[in-house]
Amino acid sequence: MKVVKVGILGLGTVGGGTVNVLQKNQQDIGRRTGCKIIVTRASARDVTRPRICSTDGIQLTTNPKEIINDPEIQIILELMGGEEPAKSLIIQSLKQGKHVVTANKALIANHGNELFEIAAENNVVLAYEAAIAGGIPIVKAMREGLSGNSIEWLSGIINGTGNFILTEMRDKGSAFADVLKEAQELGYAEADPEYDVEGIDAAHKLCILASLAFGIPLNFKKVYTEGISKITPLDVTYAEELGYRIKHLGVAKKTDVGVEMRVHLTLIPENRLIANVDGVMNAVLVKGNAVGPTLYYGPGAGADATGSAVVADIVDLCRQIDSPAEQRVPPLGFASNELKELPILLIEEVTTAFYLRLSVEDKPGVMAAITTILADNGISIEAVLQKELKQHGANTHVILLTDSVVEKSLLSALSEIESLSSINEPAIRIRVESLQ
């Protein structure tokens, strides 16, 4: 049996999980690849720290370059995270003719175009299944399983921390800050949770998914991003009364005028499968023009789940390690010379329905004024809720669901509405997706 030697840069949670998966499933992996995969070396900042995996037979070092320079190692696993030194180490590995597997979504989203080009120039592969949605094999599903389709749109719950927070707010009626603290205590959120709760982590993943879907170069800077930190239990409750769940979604759509890439809070009809994805789980819904909607669900993080995705890439590499480049699946699923720059729409140009919450004085004529302004801007109302607020005297919450409208038209209407003397505070607006 052919031996394939692997070196790991970063032996933390994902690195340790990868070693565990390789050891636990070595017999099946060997049968699938015809290879014996051996992790011979690994780097870590502190080689004396306890590990979640056995390090028997693995030579540990604090210098990752020792691993890259080892001529016997054929596959490098970059599991360090962060942009540097990870980027430089990946480039060195590729230029030395070593295949690389990474779980680094920020690196792929921001520098993937450059890194894939370097890999091609050196006739090696940069694989990244573990960069998106943990153990869900969404890259292979989109790049290979759905390759007979033209992808129309995709929508995903692709950050487990945010999904946990929204689930707890719905189930317990808790405030955002309280649930965030709980998530940090449980280890679901970092001490600095910005990337999770402000949507940056999800935006990295959506950028990659959009490129896989539409054959466009990676363009993270064009992803519109909103977080979840301003959500209130009131809006979660009102959404439920209207038959919706609030989820933090990454949405990518291909339209006649360009591509949408956006991450934000979204109302989803409660009977949709993705609306019932709770806790730290992830899910991606993809609509192809031939197959229709398909849903991919599973754990979005964790040692073994993410290690499973890393090992899947190692298996692929073992199967094609001696294959010529033209027989390999392109990194984004489209031939590199077929990637096309398409217009990326600004959020003001996107058409969606909206949930609006207005705090108004409870007096005659207020609703008439609001509906007149909306009608003048071509905006239809699909549903209305009115809630008396005893703690605020004569004030009332008016909750509206609109029909689909170009966002700039809605913003114009809201500017007029908020100028009314009967409106007490800025409107709350959340986009609505039917996902059909």
Q: Are 278 and 237 in contact (CB under 8 A)?
A: no
Q: Are 261 and 125 in contact (CB under 8 A)?
A: no
pLDDT of residue 301: 87
Alpha-carbon distance 40 to 54, whole Å? 12
Alpha-carbon distance 247 to 157, whole Å? 7
pLDDT of residue 323: 82
Tokens of 305: 């789940």
Q: What is the pLDDT of residues 362-395, one digit of tens each?
A: 788 888 999 999 999 999 999 988 877 665 556 8
Q: What is the pLDDT of residues 156-213, one digit of tens each?
A: 999 999 999 999 999 999 999 999 999 888 888 888 899 999 999 999 999 999 999 9
Q: What is the pLDDT of residues 299-348, one digit of tens each?
A: 988 899 999 999 999 999 999 888 887 888 999 999 988 899 999 999 99
Q: Are 248 and 263 in contact (CB under 8 A)?
A: yes
Q: What is the pLDDT of residues 386-434, one digit of tens each?
A: 877 665 556 889 999 999 999 999 999 999 999 998 888 899 999 999 9
pLDDT of residue 393: 54
pLDDT of residue 120: 94
pLDDT of residue 391: 58
Q: Which of 87, 205, 254, 287 is catalytic?
A: 205
Amino acid identity of 394? A
408 is catalytic: no
Domains and CATH numbers, the chain: 2-135+303-338 (3.40.50.720), 143-299 (3.30.360.10), 351-432 (3.30.70.260)
Tokens of 130: 């573990």
Q: Are 20 and 304 in contact (CB under 8 A)?
A: yes
CA atoms within 13 A on the CB side of 270: 11
* Helix %, strand %, coil % of the chain (to 5): 40, 25, 35
Alpha-carbon distance 139 to 76, whole Å? 19
| Alpha carbon of residue 425 to chain centroid | 32
**What mean pLDDT do residues 275-283 have?**
95
pLDDT of residue 165: 95
Q: What percent of the chain has pLDDT over 90?
A: 86
